[in-house]
Structure 1
Amino acid sequence: MATEKQIAANRKNAARSTGPRTISGKARSRMNALRHGLAATLEDHGGGTTSDTGLDLEALSERIGRIEVERGKLTFEIETQLWEGNGSSKEIDDRLRQLGALERYAKRSASALRKK
């Protein structure tokens, strides 16, 4: 349980934590969660072809295409490092981790598009 002193300190800190106030600060903080840019232009994507199911088919096609390109690049890098034997296990692990993250992103994207 928090003490009165801790609660007062939390309230004081919360009053100062209001986020960015300037236009440049807001633009910079908007990019904080951007990891790979695969969906960066999809939020501003307008006027797509919406099917009877409510899916934006152009956005879906574009997103899947970009994911597949990234998968291909990562797979090629992993194969090259393994074949040539010049990649350290840490580098290969990093690429495999990126590939797993990309797979999770693809699943989340498909799920989000189905919900729309």
Structure 2
Amino acid sequence: MSQIYTAEQWDKLEPVLRRLAHGSVLMAREVLVEGLRPAEVARRHEMSRQSVSQIVSRIRKILKDEGRPGLVPVVLWIPQELENQLESLDQDYVVMAIRKLIAEG
């Protein structure tokens, strides 16, 4: 399989995947960044090719759904009690609020 992301692109996208199992993210990186075939990754990790392909498909979907042109993921440390409130906000609203903050400097 050919490389889909560069290492630099992947490093910027990885925060979006922080809630997934580390092993799943590692296997997806091997396929999507290093260009290894799912069968090779499966042998390395003693898994079935189908399992690796499912993991890669899931992660590709997450990256497609989460990524928007011109946006980059940001890791932000907030109090735990605010986590649910932030997750429940509409993404478009959050983007608008961030743009406003940037414009205000």
TM-score normalised by structure 1 residue count: 0.29
TM-score after normalising by structure 2: 0.31
Higher RCO (CA 8 Å, separation ≥ 6 residues): 2
Q: Which has the larger radius of gyration?
A: 1
